[in-house]
Amino acid sequence: MPKIIPIRDLKNTSEISQMCKESSEPIYITKNGYGDMVIMSVEMYEEKLYMLDVYNKLSAAEVQIGEGKVIDGDFSLISIRKKHNV
């Protein structure tokens, strides 16, 4: 369940920092009862960026498959081995 806190609670920075480290989800900050900001630990942020990169690469690969821009796996390995003298 997402953690939601009012913006006035940001005064206690060490407590917020600890909440970010312990939480496996972003923490939502509200202002006047409405969503205003989201905070998270650096580790979670880096994980989210990594997963976004993975999803973008998978999406690009699906487009290439749809366009028929694929080659046989055996041919690909032979080509790589020849190129690198392996």
Query: Is the pLDDT score of 71 beyond 90?
Result: no
Residues 35-67: tens digit of each pLDDT: 999 999 999 999 999 999 999 999 999 999 999
CA atoms of 54 and 46, how far apart (whole Å): 12
- Report the pLDDT value the prediction gives residue 59, as an integer from 0 to 100: 97
**What is the rounded (10 degree) CA torsion for 9, 12, 18, 20?**
40
- Report the pLDDT value the prediction gives residue 2, as an integer from 0 to 100: 84
**Predicted TM-score of the model (pTM):** 0.71
Instruction: Provide the 8-state DSSP code for 25.
Output: S
Taken in order of first residue, the domains within the chain and their CATH numbers are 3-40 (3.40.1620.10), 43-83 (no CATH)
Give the residue, 2 or 38, on which the prediction is more confident.
38
